[in-house]
Structure formats: structure tokens, C-alpha cells
Amino acid sequence: MVRPATSPARRTLPLAAIAVTIGLGACATGTRAELRPDLATTGNEAVDAVLSRLAELPTAVYAADYDVHLPFNGTDIEVTTTQAEPNRRSLTIGDIRFIVEPGQTSGRTCDLSNGECEPRIVPQRVSDAQMTNDFFGTSLVARLRRDAGLAIRAPEASTEDLDGAPVTCVTLAFSPPASAPNSTPTSTYCVLDNGVLTRLIASDIEVTLTDYSDEADERQFEIGP
């Protein structure tokens, strides 16, 4: 796996930096990855609080690193993503980097292990990672909406603090699977006010923010060493 070195503008997030306060409460191959969210509300305040923040992501400027864990096979994946302006962003999942830039009819899908790129977005290149090329955008919104529709009780709202920046979270509970009838599976989504994901904990995937900057990382638009 290839992971760009942490830039001086970034900061590593110690676990103590996140304090939790519990409260009540596409892309087809060859097309550009979209981040436009579904703006319709769900009618649940806790879910809509997260969705309203995700709606801000298309205009956010940031760089973020994540650790991704897949419980079903124990795989760990390093993920980096950055956005410099609307329609200029990069997402790297393992060795595969998706790049979208203004003026392109489609994005690029690049393999950092050999420096080769295809002049289109090929989401299938990361299908084994349980992620998509718009995982942090439209796919995340669709996933949260789906989970909200499957929840068996009222979603639980919570807040966190990320180095002084507020984080909004929602936790949803689901019916137990047949293999574990006494369990109560949950999914937790946490996002910054600008729509950047800080944490997603679910039965099939765990995404944890490790580094964050409110500046874009230009190195993530490059392919060479």
C-alpha cells in the first residue's frame, strides 16, 4: 500500500483529542465521481443533522487520512483523500488513486504501484475494499439514508470534539442477524461541520480519521514517487 507522507500542515490525532458526549436523540465506469448529496430530509433530527453537514462536502477544502478495517476478513487499508475546490479532488484507497479535476470529461484511475492511469473512473478497482470512488460523498449519504430506514429504534445523537472543531454523530440500531439473535448491531456516523467524515463504525467496515488538515494536499494529485 502507498500512503503519502504526512505534510507539515497536518496533525496526528491522539485518541485523547476526541471527547464523546452522548445525547438523546456514481458512479458508472467512465463518468466523473459526484459528491452532490440528496438534500431531502428524513424527518429524524439526529440523522438530518449529519446529512445537513454532509451536504457541505462538495465545497470543503481539506486533506484527510484514514485507517479502514474490514471485520469480515481482518483486512486493514490506508485511505487518503483531499479536495482543493469543487470538482478537484483525489481519493486513494490502498494503491488505487481516483483523481477528478476541472475541465476533464471524466476522472482518472491510477495504480500507484506501477504509475499507470486509465482516463476514466473505474470503481471496480476497489470493490474488494468495500468502498467506492465516491465513498465519502454520495455513497456515504446513501448508506446513512438506508440505515435510517432500517433502524429499529430512534437514532441516538451525540457530539465529539476534534482539536476544537465540533463533530456531529448519529448511532443507529438494527435487528439482530440470524447468526447472533441476541445481538443489536449498530452503525455510527460522525462528521465535521464541513461534511468530512471522522468516523464510521459498522458491522462491515470501520473507518477512523487519523490525520486532518483544512488545506488541500497537492501531492495527492500526483502519481509519481
Residue type, 211: D
pLDDT score of 38: 54
- 68 assigned to some structural domain: yes
The CA distance from 18 to 193, in Å, is 15
What is the CATH number for 69? 2.50.20
Number of domain units in the chain = 1
- 138 assigned to some structural domain: yes
Residues spanned by the domain of 197: 14-36+43-85+132-216
- 57 assigned to some structural domain: yes
Question: Which of 82, 54, 65, 83 shows the shortest CA–CA distance to 209?
Answer: 65
pLDDT score of 37: 52
- 221 assigned to some structural domain: no
Question: Which of 146, 145, 186, 194 shows the shortest CA–CA distance to 167?
Answer: 194
* Beta strand ranges found along the chain (DSSP E): 11-12, 18-22, 62-70, 75-85, 88-93, 96-100, 108-111, 116-118, 156-162, 165-173, 186-192, 197-201, 206-213
- 105 assigned to some structural domain: no
pLDDT score of 33: 46
pLDDT score of 105: 75
pLDDT score of 4: 36
pLDDT tens, per residue, the chain with 225 residues: 333 333 334 443 433 333 333 233 333 333 444 555 555 688 999 999 999 999 999 999 999 999 999 999 999 999 999 999 989 999 999 999 999 999 877 899 999 999 999 999 999 999 889 899 999 999 999 999 999 999 999 999 999 999 999 999 999 999 998 888 999 999 999 999 999 999 999 999 999 999 999 999 999 999 976
